Amino acid sequence: MNDIKPIFLIGFMGSGKTTWGRKLALKTERVFIDLDEVIVDEAGMPIPEYFERHGETAFRALESRVLKSLPLEQPAVVATGGGTPCYFDNMAWMNKTGKTIYLCMPPKALWSRLMQTDISARPALGGLTGKALLDEITAKLADRTPHYQQATHIVDQLSMRLDDLVSLSK
Protein backbone atom coordinates (compact mmCIF):
# COMPACT_ATOMS: atom_id res chain seq x y z
CA MET A 1 0.00 0.00 0.00
CA ASN A 2 2.90 2.26 0.84
CA ASP A 3 3.78 2.13 -2.84
CA ILE A 4 0.96 4.38 -3.92
CA LYS A 5 1.92 7.21 -1.61
CA PRO A 6 3.41 10.16 -3.46
CA ILE A 7 7.08 11.04 -3.14
CA PHE A 8 7.78 14.76 -2.74
CA LEU A 9 11.30 15.90 -3.61
CA ILE A 10 12.20 19.00 -1.65
CA GLY A 11 15.28 21.23 -1.54
CA PHE A 12 16.74 24.57 -2.46
CA MET A 13 16.55 26.06 -5.96
CA GLY A 14 19.15 24.40 -8.15
CA SER A 15 19.32 21.19 -6.11
CA GLY A 16 18.08 19.09 -9.02
CA LYS A 17 14.54 18.26 -7.85
CA THR A 18 13.13 18.23 -11.39
CA THR A 19 15.97 16.30 -13.00
CA TRP A 20 16.09 13.64 -10.28
CA GLY A 21 12.31 13.59 -10.01
CA ARG A 22 11.97 12.68 -13.67
CA LYS A 23 14.58 9.92 -13.33
CA LEU A 24 12.98 8.52 -10.18
CA ALA A 25 9.50 8.56 -11.72
CA LEU A 26 10.71 6.74 -14.81
CA LYS A 27 12.58 4.11 -12.81
CA THR A 28 9.72 3.46 -10.36
CA GLU A 29 6.93 3.73 -12.94
CA ARG A 30 5.29 6.68 -11.29
CA VAL A 31 3.79 9.79 -12.82
CA PHE A 32 6.08 12.83 -12.66
CA ILE A 33 4.56 16.13 -11.55
CA ASP A 34 6.45 19.42 -11.47
CA LEU A 35 4.64 21.68 -9.00
CA ASP A 36 6.03 24.87 -10.60
CA GLU A 37 4.61 23.79 -13.97
CA VAL A 38 1.16 23.17 -12.51
CA ILE A 39 1.29 26.60 -10.86
CA VAL A 40 2.21 28.23 -14.18
CA ASP A 41 -0.75 26.48 -15.86
CA GLU A 42 -3.08 27.54 -13.08
CA ALA A 43 -1.81 31.15 -13.00
CA GLY A 44 -1.70 31.46 -16.78
CA MET A 45 1.69 33.18 -16.61
CA PRO A 46 5.33 32.44 -15.77
CA ILE A 47 6.33 32.55 -12.10
CA PRO A 48 8.52 35.70 -12.37
CA GLU A 49 5.58 37.55 -13.92
CA TYR A 50 3.28 36.30 -11.15
CA PHE A 51 5.70 37.56 -8.50
CA GLU A 52 5.91 40.92 -10.22
CA ARG A 53 2.17 41.39 -10.67
CA HIS A 54 0.81 39.88 -7.46
CA GLY A 55 3.77 39.65 -5.07
CA GLU A 56 5.29 36.75 -3.15
CA THR A 57 2.50 36.52 -0.54
CA ALA A 58 -0.07 35.78 -3.25
CA PHE A 59 2.33 33.32 -4.88
CA ARG A 60 2.74 31.37 -1.62
CA ALA A 61 -1.04 31.12 -1.19
CA LEU A 62 -1.43 29.88 -4.78
CA GLU A 63 1.46 27.43 -4.33
CA SER A 64 -0.12 25.92 -1.22
CA ARG A 65 -3.55 25.64 -2.83
CA VAL A 66 -2.13 24.00 -5.99
CA LEU A 67 0.02 21.60 -3.91
CA LYS A 68 -2.98 20.38 -1.96
CA SER A 69 -5.11 19.86 -5.05
CA LEU A 70 -2.57 17.89 -7.13
CA PRO A 71 -3.98 14.77 -8.79
CA LEU A 72 -2.31 12.13 -6.62
CA GLU A 73 -4.56 9.12 -7.25
CA GLN A 74 -1.84 7.48 -9.32
CA PRO A 75 1.60 6.78 -7.82
CA ALA A 76 3.55 10.00 -8.34
CA VAL A 77 6.86 11.75 -7.85
CA VAL A 78 6.37 15.48 -7.24
CA ALA A 79 9.20 18.00 -7.67
CA THR A 80 8.26 20.90 -5.39
CA GLY A 81 9.48 24.51 -5.51
CA GLY A 82 12.39 25.50 -3.28
CA GLY A 83 10.12 27.47 -0.95
CA THR A 84 7.19 25.03 -0.83
CA PRO A 85 8.09 23.29 2.47
CA CYS A 86 8.57 26.63 4.24
CA TYR A 87 5.08 28.14 4.09
CA PHE A 88 1.79 27.38 5.82
CA ASP A 89 1.45 23.73 6.82
CA ASN A 90 2.82 22.49 3.47
CA MET A 91 5.60 20.40 4.99
CA ALA A 92 3.31 18.67 7.48
CA TRP A 93 0.77 18.10 4.70
CA MET A 94 3.39 16.49 2.43
CA ASN A 95 4.66 14.26 5.24
CA LYS A 96 1.13 13.18 6.05
CA THR A 97 0.16 12.61 2.42
CA GLY A 98 3.32 10.80 1.31
CA LYS A 99 7.07 10.78 1.82
CA THR A 100 9.42 13.72 1.50
CA ILE A 101 13.02 13.41 0.36
CA TYR A 102 15.34 16.38 0.91
CA LEU A 103 18.08 16.76 -1.69
CA CYS A 104 20.66 18.44 0.49
CA MET A 105 23.48 20.53 -1.02
CA PRO A 106 25.90 23.06 0.48
CA PRO A 107 25.55 26.76 -0.49
CA LYS A 108 28.70 26.86 -2.66
CA ALA A 109 27.54 23.92 -4.78
CA LEU A 110 24.07 25.47 -5.18
CA TRP A 111 25.69 28.76 -6.10
CA SER A 112 27.91 27.31 -8.83
CA ARG A 113 24.93 25.50 -10.34
CA LEU A 114 22.65 28.53 -10.11
CA MET A 115 25.32 30.78 -11.65
CA GLN A 116 25.01 28.70 -14.81
CA THR A 117 21.24 29.24 -15.06
CA ASP A 118 19.00 32.17 -15.91
CA ILE A 119 18.67 33.91 -12.52
CA SER A 120 15.78 36.08 -13.76
CA ALA A 121 13.66 32.91 -13.87
CA ARG A 122 14.03 32.70 -10.06
CA PRO A 123 12.46 35.79 -8.52
CA ALA A 124 13.14 34.51 -5.00
CA LEU A 125 16.83 35.28 -5.65
CA GLY A 126 16.17 38.90 -6.52
CA GLY A 127 18.31 38.97 -9.68
CA LEU A 128 21.56 38.80 -7.67
CA THR A 129 24.80 37.42 -9.08
CA GLY A 130 28.36 36.74 -7.92
CA LYS A 131 29.23 37.11 -4.23
CA ALA A 132 25.88 38.77 -3.41
CA LEU A 133 24.12 35.69 -4.80
CA LEU A 134 26.25 33.36 -2.68
CA ASP A 135 25.44 35.42 0.45
CA GLU A 136 21.72 35.32 -0.35
CA ILE A 137 21.78 31.55 -0.95
CA THR A 138 23.66 31.02 2.32
CA ALA A 139 21.18 33.12 4.32
CA LYS A 140 18.05 31.71 2.68
CA LEU A 141 19.27 28.14 3.03
CA ALA A 142 19.92 28.71 6.74
CA ASP A 143 16.36 30.05 7.15
CA ARG A 144 14.86 27.15 5.25
CA THR A 145 16.92 24.31 6.72
CA PRO A 146 14.65 23.75 9.78
CA HIS A 147 11.78 23.10 7.36
CA TYR A 148 13.81 20.93 4.99
CA GLN A 149 15.08 18.88 7.92
CA GLN A 150 11.57 17.68 8.70
CA ALA A 151 11.83 15.46 5.62
CA THR A 152 11.19 11.73 5.89
CA HIS A 153 14.63 11.19 4.32
CA ILE A 154 17.61 13.48 3.84
CA VAL A 155 20.11 12.66 1.08
CA ASP A 156 23.45 14.17 0.16
CA GLN A 157 22.69 15.26 -3.39
CA LEU A 158 26.37 15.35 -4.37
CA SER A 159 27.03 11.70 -3.62
CA MET A 160 23.65 9.99 -4.06
CA ARG A 161 22.79 7.66 -6.92
CA LEU A 162 19.43 6.96 -8.48
CA ASP A 163 19.26 3.58 -6.72
CA ASP A 164 19.48 5.37 -3.37
CA LEU A 165 16.39 7.41 -4.24
CA VAL A 166 14.61 4.30 -5.48
CA SER A 167 15.29 2.50 -2.17
CA LEU A 168 14.07 5.48 -0.14
CA SER A 169 10.87 5.73 -2.14
CA LYS A 170 9.82 2.17 -1.23
Q: Spell out a b/e string for 150-165, using b for 16 or more CB atoms within 10 Å of the CB, else e.
A: ebbebbebeebeeeeb
Instruction: Spell out, one character per residue from 42 to 61, where the chain touches ligand S3P: x when CB under 6 A holds, - when not.
Output: -----x--------------
Q: Distance (Å, rounded) from C-alpha 57 to C-alpha 124?
A: 12
By 3-state DSSP, what share of the chain in percent is helix, strand and coil, each rounded to 5? 55, 15, 30
- Could you tell me the smallest distance in angstroms from the CB atom of residue 1 to ligand S3P? 30
Instruction: Spell out, one character per residue from 108 to 147, where the chain touches ligand S3P: x when CB under 6 A holds, - when not.
Output: --------------xxx-----------------------
13 binds ligand S3P (CB under 6 A): yes
Residues 6+ apart with CB under 8 A from 74: 4, 30, 31
* Shorter beta-carbon distance to ligand S3P: residue 82 or 98: 82
83 binds ligand S3P (CB under 6 A): yes
- φ, ψ (nearest 5 deg) of residue 138: -60, -45
- Stretch in the footprint of ligand S3P (CB under 6 A) among 20-28, 79-87, 129-137, 158-166: 79-87
Chain residues in the site for ligand S3P (CB under 6 A): 13, 17, 36, 47, 81-83, 122-124
